[in-house]
Amino acid sequence: MTVLVLPGGKVTDRRRTRPWQVADLRMWAFTWALRRLGSGIDVRQVRYRRRGWNGDDRSPVHDVRGVLDELRPSGTPVVLIGHSMGGRVAAVVADDPQVVALLALAPWWPDGEGARIPTATRMVVVHGTADRWTDPLASRMQTELAAARGVPVHWIGVAGAGHAMLRHPWRWRRIAVDFVRDQSHQLSAPNVS
């Protein structure tokens, strides 16, 4: 199993990304925690070429599709973990048949991206209830709509937490670690007919 960690970004910014940007640094704590799981779980943090979504260009989507294309020959199942814009990217690329699960952290879903999730993709959405950058009520509503379509999904609110996941940071990381561990167990469980 491969886990792709997808950082946030900006609405519009065509400058090249740098590894010391806050969005990337924020997700390194998740990447490190997930790498400690070991046992055949390959964890990769994706660095986008451009900092922003950039309208119809959807710049980071191309970068993540490129990584998925590189993984395709191995046939490995992919789990996506995306924060903010990374949650939007994850929702768009979840249509790739390699993607089995998605964890969206304070996702930026302005265009109903939650509706894109295929019904076979397991999903958890986590949102701080005090988030002022992305809308926790919108992500909850999209989670409920996905559930109504048959997506196995769960929404978790982190009371009083904002967008940067600085309140209760251990809780956010624990949710991510547990999510990946659960996906690993589900993938390794024998199919019973």
Q: Kindly report the number of other CB atoms within 10 A of residue 44's CB atom.
A: 16
The closest of 111, 119, 71, 122 to 89, measured between CA atoms, is 111
How many angstroms separate the CA atoms of 80 and 149, rounded?
20
Q: Could you tell me the pTM of the whole model?
A: 0.95
User: How much is the pLDDT for 191?
Assistant: 63
pLDDT band (50, 70, 90) for residue 48: very high
pLDDT band (50, 70, 90) for residue 23: confident
At 165-192, the pLDDT tens digits run 999 999 999 999 999 999 999 888 766 4
pLDDT band (50, 70, 90) for residue 193: very low
Taking the alpha carbons of 67, 61, 117, 142 in that order, is the dihedral positive or negative? Answer: positive
User: How much is the pLDDT for 80?
Assistant: 98
User: How much is the pLDDT for 38?
Assistant: 80
How many angstroms separate the CA atoms of 147 and 5, rounded?
24
At 68-127, the pLDDT tens digits run 999 999 999 999 999 999 999 999 999 999 999 999 999 999 989 988 899 999 999 999
Percentage above 90 pLDDT, the chain: 83
Q: Which has the higher per-residue pLDDT, 23 or 192?
A: 23
Angstrom CA distances, 173 to 12, 70, 181, stand at 28, 27, 12
Spatial CB neighbours of 85, under 8 Å, sequence gap ≥ 6? 7, 8, 9, 10, 23, 52, 53, 60, 108
Mean pLDDT of 45-62: 95
Mean pLDDT of 43-64: 95
Mean pLDDT of 48-53: 94
User: How much is the pLDDT for 20?
Assistant: 83
Average pLDDT, the chain: 94
Mean pLDDT of 47-75: 96
Task: Specify whether the backbone of 87 is left (phi greater than 0), alpha (psi in -120 to 50) or beta.
Answer: alpha
User: How much is the pLDDT for 192?
Assistant: 47
